[in-house]
Structure 1
Amino acid sequence: MPVLPGAEPFRHEGGEVGVLLCHGFTGSPQSLRPWADYLAARGYTVSLPLLPGHGTRWEDMAVTGWQDWYAEVDRELRVLRERCARVFVFGLSMGGALALRLAARHGDAVAGLVLVNPANKVHGLSAYALPVARHLVRTTKGLAGDIALEGGHEVGYDRVPLHCAHSLRRFLRIVDTELPQVTQPLLLLHSSQDHVVPPADTARVLSRVSSRDVEEVLLEQSYHVATLDHDAERIFDESHRFLARLASGVAEKGSTSGG
């Protein structure tokens, strides 16, 4: 199935500092592409994969689950580790949960995390009905496009396969149990108004990780997909500052041509 325009994966060969970017549930690399371009222009090696079942049609996603999505970012992390002296993982929404699990399981192989509105739980009473409902109803209303910026657009599905929502719920429960194993430096940016992930998720993540180097930034002008919203440039600049602080002494310069 052809990939939706703008949803293509992205890779850039830069310097010795690598960044893996993880997009969100039912979304695509398009939501993080400006961030990836920003980092590539500053000489970082960047990997922005397309998660299995995403970026085409929801029917393709319906036959995938969290094991498929996590396996993809795990593979990309290993590739970056072979190429770079130091690797950081960034994530939006479910991508934040994927990043947290990578940090918990790979330890020092992940040098630090930058998370934007990370998901920690599937909310609402309907979440408890997912184990049964997924056998009765195939999809529900989509989550993509929670952006305050006028004209802002996210390439994502307008339907959520309930099988995948159930799988996401199971995955987030697993990640929550692993949060105490996260010890890496952490920059967490979250929106004051988010119609997808509530503030309780951010509070939960911050309360359970074991990281000592933690910075929390409130994004007051953006909704959930803040990387495409009013605060996008602030996210990019804060992440670059975070990288520069933690990767000092590691060569960053490299080719600035995209790919």
Structure 2
Amino acid sequence: MTAAKVIPGAESFFLPGNSIGILICHGFNGTPQSVRYLGDNLAVKGYTVYAPRLKGHGTDELDMETSHYQDWVHDVETAYAKLKQTCTYVFAIGQSMGGALVLDLATKVPCEGILTINAALQVPEYEIYRNQSVPRFIPEGEPDVKDDTVTEITYDQVPSKAINQLLDIMEHTSQQLENISCPILLFHSPEDHVVPARCSNQIYDTVLSLDKELIALENSYHVASLDYDKDQIIEQANRFIQIHSKKATIAS
């Protein structure tokens, strides 16, 4: 079977830099394009940055239909392993479903810190499709971005099978939060039309991390990595990474 062709601009990207690695994971129906601005600007600060393209994303809907959430978990774990080949420390950033995936990662490997952007533990609009296979494809609206000049690479429709995989990984991660103890920085948009803000509050209240922060993105909707607060995300992420990489160096 011929592999699905990747949409131009939706490819994974790897930006070599210093011994501090940053894994950036996009969300459901997104691609690395949605986090490219973050990646490029963090790489400018010297970090090694890797944003993998999750299986079934950035190609076509039929490719997504055959993807399982364990494929996405594997993609993130493989990306972490790639960074560890050259980096002493690794931080993981995840947007939306990517947030759920990096939280899951933190229960399995030693991360110096986790950063989430509107991490998805629930998507109310999708709940009616739980355990449903019809309709086969669900129409998707425009990406939830306040800045109307922004374009995001997404599918116009997503398979109901893939939606159920998203529901499964969110449920799985929700059950794992008490196993997370690394430093964590949570970005959330109070006006998010996809993921309720209470998801970030749930993470903050449940993880065992002694060092945790919750930052509101007042001028962005769900896809905040492309929205008006994207530079604030970069500034605060850099601060967090600098603090905790230095702490890790002292501890070692």
Tell me what 1:67 maps to.
Answer: 70
Give structure 2 stretches of 5+ with no counterpart.
Answer: none
1:200 equivalent in structure 2: 198
User: Which residue does the alignment assign to 1:146?
Assistant: 144
Tell me how far 1:250 sits from its aligned partner.
8.1
TM-score calculated relative to the size of structure 2? 0.93
Whether the 8 Å contact between 1:22 and 1:91 is mirrored in structure 2 is: yes
Indicate if the aligned counterparts of 2:26 and 2:95 stay in contact, CA closer than 8 A: yes
Pairwise CA RMSD: 1.6
Once the 2 structures are TM-superposed, how far is the Cα of residue 249 of structure 1 from its aligned partner? 7.8
**Structure 1 unaligned residues grouped into runs of 5+:** 252-259
Alignment CA distance shift 1:143-1:16 (3 Å)? farther
Deviates more, 1:191-200 or 1:92-101: 191-200
* Partner residue of 2:158 out of 157, 160, 167: 160
Paired residue secondary structure (1:247): helix
TM-score, normalising length: structure 1 = 0.91
- Higher RCO structure (Cα 8 Å, ≥6 apart): 1
Are the counterparts in 1 of residues 38 and 234 from structure 2 also a CA contact under 8 Å?
yes
State the 1:128 CA deviation. 5.0
What is the alpha-carbon distance in structure 1 between the residues aligned to residue 247 and residue 47 of structure 2?
14
In 2, Cα distance between equivalents of 1:84 and 1:11: 13
Q: How does 1:164-179 map to 2 (within 5 A)?
A: 164-179=162-177
Alignment match, 1:57? 60
Q: Does 1:32 align with 2:20?
A: no
Q: Helix, strand or coil for the counterpart of 1:38?
A: helix
Q: Distance in 2 between matches of 1:248 and 1:207?
A: 26
1:130 matched to 2:130: yes
Structure 2 SS opposite 1:87: strand
Contact 2:122 2:196 in 1 (8 A): no
Distance verdict in 2 for CA 1:143–1:111, change over 3 Å: farther
Q: How many residues align?
A: 246
Judged with a 3 Å threshold, the aligned counterparts in structure 2 of structure 1 residues 59 and 102 are, in CA distance, closer, same or farther, namely same
| Aligned counterpart, 2:87 | 84
Q: Secondary structure at the match of 1:100?
A: helix
Counting aligned pairs with the same residue, the percent is 37
